[in-house]
Structure 1
Amino acid sequence: MKKTLISILSFIASLGIVSSAQAFSLYDEVSEGDLSNVGATPTQLGSLTLGNNLLRATFNRGINTDPDYFSFTIPQGQILTEIKLNSWNTSPFFEDIAFIGIEEGLSFDFVFSNTNNANPAAGLLGWSHLRSTQIGTDKILTEMALSNLDPISSGLAIVVNEEADNNPYTPEQIAQFPSGVTEDLLKANLRSAGTIGTTGSTVGWFPGATGFKLPLGPGNYSIWLRQGSDIRISVELDFNTQKVSEPRSVLGLTLVLGLGLVTVISKRKFN
């Protein structure tokens, strides 16, 4: 596995990809106000800059429903290589297994269907179970890309079971759990994210998403952040873009990263 990853990184370097270490504040709800709560009119964030694009958002469902919808553009000549979860904060601490979905275009018209039980994720380009165990990894974009595959084929079942097995919650976090919430319950929620969802369930894998090849190429995209409880989740997401010097390099990179990451997610959690 180590040799495989080194080979991928060496190939990427040979393509002449240029990245920027400078972090750009794409949006910060604390200073810029609440992101849109309406999918038809997401907050328009414009074009991603080359390198790191940081977005800070707080969302929940609960009594005072506050989902977040926003749109952005990946410019021509650039690719989105990862969406990294930098931070996850709740008060009290709670692993609710939130949701992040992506559609093509500058609006988000997907809604969960009560009638299309065979393919409830139909209409989504991709999606992932947003969770604290993704902090510091590039799991989000990869899980979105592979969300058209069942959790066994994509490797998601292995990933979430490894997360649960690795005792992901600190003593400080456990001490903050809401009344009635236990470590075993939250670990069970993690494991259920890698199983086939059933009608009425809030955590699980659901078919219907289109899926896509990695990295994500130029175009307009919209994202939906949501979760199902009154507890508000605050996250920082890093949308990392890179530049490819030659058009033919994009295809090569897509093939290499796509195949390499399918192998990684199938065998171990991301690092």
Structure 2
Amino acid sequence: MPASRILALLAALALPLGSVQALTWDETINGDLSDDGNAPTLVGTLDSGSNLFSGTMGALGGGPTMDADVWNFTIAAGYYLTGINLVDYSAQSGSLTNNSFMAIASGGTINMSDPSNHLSNALWGYGQDGFGNTYVDLLALLDAGPEFGGIGFNGPLPAGNYTFWIQEGADQINYSIDFVTAPVPVPEPGGLLLLGVAGLWSLRRRRR
């Protein structure tokens, strides 16, 4: 066997079985995320498990221009979004009380001037939970909203295409946000059987 084939085989064997590279977007590596709600950065389909987005937004360099970050993603059929977790949030000013803005909408764009078609929107930040924790459940904040007008939703987000927008108006913010997806649970065979029996019993009672 050629040496190159042996090296390739050894490299493959060194990989953990079943390992999957989660989707990540790091602005220092992948480039700046869009600041245009009509042309968000297309990041593709979220992988099962963690999908990490890291970047910088707001008053970059202390200047008057406010940089938003907007990206479009897809949740595959058979999956849903179970969490949007704030892993890291730090302000250039050192403030622990910043409240940045976030919004999510269905489809490939998001209106940045009219919230009426937002699925939800809310304020988020390092001190959002009052304890200075950075692992804040942003999905729960959105689920409890919208704070500034919109459609609203309940529970995990189902399969589909969505656009997410974050914005800071007074500071430069470094952030990392983890989008977590999971397979939609399939009913156990026993549960399906019970549902079938219950359905037949109900039908029998109606025929009497």
Residue 137 of structure 1 corresponds to which residue in structure 2? 136
Residue 128 of structure 1 corresponds to which residue in structure 2? 122
Identity of aligned residues (%): 31
Q: Distance in 2 between matches of 1:232 and 1:25?
A: 25
Residue 26 of structure 2 corresponds to which residue in structure 1? 28
Residue 163 of structure 2 corresponds to which residue in structure 1? 222
1:246 Cα deviation from its structure 2 partner: 2.5
Structure of larger gyration radius: 2
Query: CA contact under 8 A between 1:84 and 1:238: conserved in structure 2?
Result: yes
Q: Distance in 2 between matches of 1:125 and 1:82?
A: 15
Matched to 1:96, the amino acid is N
Q: TM-score, normalised by structure 1?
A: 0.55
Residue 41 of structure 2 corresponds to which residue in structure 1? 43
Query: CA contact under 8 A between 2:116 and 2:151: conserved in structure 1?
Result: yes
Q: Give the aligned length.
A: 162
Query: CA contact under 8 A between 1:23 and 1:54: conserved in structure 2?
Result: no
Q: Which runs of 5+ in 2 are unaligned?
A: 1-17, 129-133, 189-208
Residue 174 of structure 2 corresponds to which residue in structure 1? 234
Residue 213 of structure 1 corresponds to which residue in structure 2? 154
Query: CA contact under 8 A between 1:60 and 1:228: conserved in structure 2?
Result: yes
Q: TM-score, normalised by structure 2?
A: 0.71
- Call closer, same or farther: CA 1:23–1:232 in 2, change over 3 Å: farther
Query: How large is the RMSD of aligned CA atoms in angstroms?
Result: 2.2
Matched to 2:91, the amino acid is T
Q: Distance in 2 between matches of 1:213 and 1:123?
A: 16
Q: Which runs of 5+ in 1 are unaligned?
A: 1-19, 113-120, 149-204, 249-271
1:227 Cα deviation from its structure 2 partner: 1.2
- Call closer, same or farther: CA 1:21–1:58 in 2, change over 3 Å: farther
Residue 199 of structure 2 corresponds to which residue in structure 1? none
Matched to 1:64, the amino acid is T
- Equivalent runs, 1:5-16 vs 2, <5 Å: none
1:236 Cα deviation from its structure 2 partner: 0.4
Greater strand content: 2
- Bigger relative contact order, structure 1 or 2, given CA contacts below 8 A and separation 6+? 1
Residue 52 of structure 1 corresponds to which residue in structure 2? 50
Residue 98 of structure 2 is aligned to residue 96 of structure 1: yes
Greater helix content: 1
